[in-house]
Amino acid sequence: MSIHLIGGGATTSADAALHAPFVAEAAARARAAGRDRPRIAVISLHPEAEEKAAALAELLTAAGDGGGIEAHTTAGRPGEPVAPGAIADVDGVAVGGGVVEDVRAGLEPLFGELRRLVSVGVPYLGVSAGAMIAAEGSLAGGTRIGGVAVAPEEPGEPGLELEIEAGIGLVDVAIEVHVAQRGMLSRLVAAVESGLITGGLGIDERTALIVGDGRLRAEGHGSVWRVLPTEGGVLVSTIGA
């Protein structure tokens, strides 16, 4: 069992390889259960949920070994609870992106069941916001800490304080996404330096972080940034893809 976290941006058939390790794990679980194709819950709470859920299901199909998948898609309304049946009797769970607060709110009632599924060997795939909520402490969308800007802000838009909310708890450090592309490394560094979080991993777009058996592996076109507290500041390093 592994947890697969993608930093966003991987939306075309050329990015299918990033999703392949997740689909392979789901397929192995399906075969062990006597099924020809893996049943994968594909959940989107994006403002364009139906389109995004269908696109993610298509990517997962392309990522398979030719045997196809049985996609159980849920196109929910942002922020509204997802029904428990969305993740019942599946071989994998894939959660797409959107506004992180909405994705978290929609899946919060299922956090306990998601932890249980992963503990018994069901792989989890999170893309963008779906990756962020996999953490024990999930970063929200704020750009300020103590009133000071720590990430790019839209001109003329008031910055919001960065808050940490309870996530699923599949990984024990915070997850940041779109790091190099949106200048989010500074937010992750500031959150660790301020003590708001105890450590974090930032994932570039078109890059996957795979967490399994206590090991971290990066794949794709960018880097995974590791930010940890150290005496007098923080330590920043990369896990190259």
pLDDT at 78 over 80: no
* Mean pLDDT along residues 75-90: 91
pLDDT at 211 over 70: yes
Do 132 and 176 meet the contact criterion of CB atoms below 8 Å apart? yes
For residue 240, the model assigns a pLDDT of: 65
Domains and CATH numbers, the chain: 2-239 (3.40.50.880)
% of the chain at pLDDT higher than 90: 86
- Across 5-14, 147-156, 177-186, the highest mean pLDDT is recorded for 177-186
pLDDT at 1 over 80: no
What letter does residue 155 receive in the DSSP assignment?
Answer: T
Do 167 and 139 meet the contact criterion of CB atoms below 8 Å apart? no
* Mean pLDDT along residues 53-60: 95
CA distance 190 to 174: 13
pLDDT at 21 over 80: yes
CA distance 16 to 84: 28
For residue 156, the model assigns a pLDDT of: 78
CA distance 47 to 59: 19
Q: Which residue has the higher pLDDT, 165 or 1?
A: 165
* Mean pLDDT along residues 68-83: 90
User: What's the sign of the alpha-carbon dihedral 38, 209, 195, 160?
Assistant: negative
Q: Which residue has the higher pLDDT, 79 or 71?
A: 71
Closest CA to 19 of 190, 165, 11: 11
Q: Where does residue 93 fall: left (phi above 0), alpha (psi -120 to 50 degrees), or beta otherwise?
A: beta
pLDDT at 241 over 60: no
What average pLDDT does the chain have? Answer: 94
CA distance 25 to 81: 27
Q: What is the pLDDT of residues 123-176, one digit of tens each?
A: 999 999 999 999 999 999 899 999 999 999 988 778 899 999 999 999 999 999
Q: Identify the residue whose tokens are 């956090």.
A: 111
For residue 35, the model assigns a pLDDT of: 94
For residue 215, the model assigns a pLDDT of: 81
Q: What is the pLDDT of residues 86-117, one digit of tens each?
A: 999 999 999 999 999 999 999 999 999 999 99
CA distance 66 to 63: 8
- 197 — pLDDT class (breaks 50, 70, 90): very high
Closest CA to 133 of 109, 161, 165, 181: 165
Q: What is the pLDDT of residues 225-239, one digit of tens each?
A: 999 999 989 999 998
CA distance 107 to 127: 14
